[in-house]
Amino acid sequence: MSSTGGLIADEDGSAPVEFVLVGIMLTVLTLGVMQFGVAVYVRNVVHDAAIDGAYHAALADTTLAEGAERTRDIVSRTVGAEYADDVTVGEDVSLGYPTVVISVRTTMPLIGLLGVPGTWEVSGHAPIETFE
Q: How far apart are CA 86 and CA 46, in angstroms?
A: 11
List, for residues 5-36, the tens digit of each pLDDT value. 566 767 777 888 889 999 999 999 999 999 99
pLDDT digits (tens, 9 = 90+) for 35-65: 999 999 999 999 999 999 999 999 988 999 9
pLDDT at 1 over 80: no
pLDDT at 86: 93
pTM reported for the whole predicted model: 0.81
- On whether the CB atoms of residues 105 and 116 are closer than 8 A, the answer is no
Residue range 103-128, pLDDT digits in tens: 999 999 999 888 888 899 999 999 99
Are 75 and 104 in contact by the 8 Å Cβ rule? The answer is yes
